[in-house]
């Protein structure tokens, strides 16, 4: 008997849409990519041709109206995410949506209510949860291998800042960059953040400050389990994409380092050195992007809850809002019913 395949429509054929589209088309046999749409029709057609997809266009409504489509991948601009989640839920489609859902809680809550009413699955695209290194840290905490966690430190630094045009519409560093780290902190600790104290500065490019954003930040988190965490971000690390985590527990510690293009070490009379870390997030997290989609497809086909929920998407934004408020007010912000 032939195994059922999940029929998927892709909304958005930009950088991340291309990644997800190719993964569904080439590497996830339990799913089939049947639609590609983008406001840029040429981009949609190019990706559809690359993935062997016949249905292509510019209107997401056509995908949502197609009875063949079981699920959609929302990879459009952030300002469209919440609306498309609502529309997809109303159409009875299961949903994978890139982060963030929105920059305001009213839009997020409306989208999540639509999902709950429709009874469809919603997974948010926090791919770093599916990275083998970070998954190992989570297991060490969840299993009690290092016993009670006391301190956590997350390092997340980009190799270079994004274009100023992107900065102006991104929602700011806490919503387009640190949001991954806020989700990672909650995921690793297995509990909520209760209080946030954040410092921010412009140390990379004055134009980023002129656009109303920060490029360097240090955030202190207090968790419900009593542990303390820190996140340090910078939009520029000249040596490459810097992604590290360390957790200290009462019975030991666990840490994960950067990924490198090779394991070679060069030794001579002056130095011992190696090549720089991977320099782009698409290289560093290639495998995790595939694994997160496999997880989504598996959840929908089996009828089990997605591993990254709408609540997870909401809480990452809440912590980001608290961090932004902390920088503006110069004091810690408690996360309570006000969020």
- Do 324 and 196 contact (CB within 8 A), yes or no? no
Residues 158, 91 within the same domain:
no
* pLDDT reported for residue 1: 43
* pLDDT reported for residue 83: 98
* pLDDT reported for residue 215: 98
Residues 149, 271 within the same domain:
yes
* pLDDT reported for residue 44: 98
* 308, part of any domain: no
Which residues make Cβ contacts (< 8 Å) with residue 90, sequence separation at least 6?
114, 118
The low-confidence residues of the chain, meaning pLDDT below 70, are 1-2, 337-338
Residues 102, 161 within the same domain:
no
Total of domains in the chain: 2
What confidence tens digit (pLDDT) does each residue in 79-97 have?
999 999 999 999 999 999 9
E-strand ranges in the chain read: 6-11, 31-37, 55-57, 71-74, 94-98, 122-125, 149-157, 193-201, 216-223, 228-234, 242-249, 252-256, 266-267, 272-273, 333-334
Residues 155, 24 within the same domain:
no
Which residues make Cβ contacts (< 8 Å) with residue 123, sequence separation at least 6?
95, 96, 97, 292, 295, 296, 299, 306, 307, 308, 309
* pLDDT reported for residue 4: 84
Residues 115, 141 within the same domain:
no
Residues 223, 325 within the same domain:
yes
- For residue 305, what is the DSSP state? P
What confidence tens digit (pLDDT) does each residue in 212-254 have?
999 999 999 999 999 999 999 999 999 999 999 999 999 999 9
- For residue 99, what is the DSSP state? S
Domain containing residue 90: CATH number: 3.40.50.720
Residues 144, 262 within the same domain:
yes
Residues 136, 116 within the same domain:
no
Residues 140, 116 within the same domain:
no
Residues 73, 161 within the same domain:
no
- Look up the domain containing 94 and give its range: 6-120
Whether this prediction's pTM lies above 0.85 is answered by yes
* pLDDT reported for residue 337: 66
């Amino acid at each position: 008997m032939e195994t059922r395949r999940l029929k998927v429509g892709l909304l958005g054929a930009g950088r991340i849409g291309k990644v997800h589209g190719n993964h569904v088309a080439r590497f996830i046999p339990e799913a089939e990519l049947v639609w590609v749409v983008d406001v840029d029709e040429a981009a949609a057609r190019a990706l559809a041709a690359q993935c062997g997809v016949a249905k292509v266009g510019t209107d997401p409504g056509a995908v949502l109206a197609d009875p063949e489509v079981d699920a959609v991948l929302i990879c459009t601009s952030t300002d469209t995410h919440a609306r498309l989640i609502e529309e997809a839920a109303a159409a009875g489609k299961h949903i994978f949506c890139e982060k963030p859902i929105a920059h305001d809680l009213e839009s997020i809550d409306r989208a999540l209510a639509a999902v709950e009413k429709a009874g469809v699955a919603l997974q948010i695209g926090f791919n770093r949860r599916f990275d083998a290194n970070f998954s190992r840290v989570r297991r060490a905490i969840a299993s009690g291998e290092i016993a009670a966690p006391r301190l956590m430190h997350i390092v997340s630094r980009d190799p270079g800042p994004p274009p100023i045009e992107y900065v102006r519409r991104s929602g700011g560093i806490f919503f387009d960059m640190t949001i991954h780290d806020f989700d990672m902190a909650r995921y690793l600790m297995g509990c909520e953040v209760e209080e946030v104290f954040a410092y921010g500065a412009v140390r990379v490019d004055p134009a980023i400050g002129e656009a109303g954003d920060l490029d360097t930040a240090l955030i202190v988190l207090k968790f419900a389990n009593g542990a303390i965490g820190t996140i340090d971000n910078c939009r520029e690390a000249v040596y490459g994409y810097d992604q590290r985590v360390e957790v200290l527990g009462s019975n030991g510690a666990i840490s994960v380092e950067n990924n490198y293009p090779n394991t070679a070490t060069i030794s001579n009379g002056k130095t011992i050195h190696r090549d720089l870390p991977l320099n782009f997030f698409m290289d560093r997290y290639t495998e995790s992007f595939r694994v997160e989609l496999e997880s989504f497809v598996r959840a929908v086909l089996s009828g089990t809850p997605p591993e990254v929920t709408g609540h997870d998407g909401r809480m990452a934004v809440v912590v980001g809002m608290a961090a932004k408020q902390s920088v503006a007010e110069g004091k810690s912000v408690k996360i309570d019913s006000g969020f």
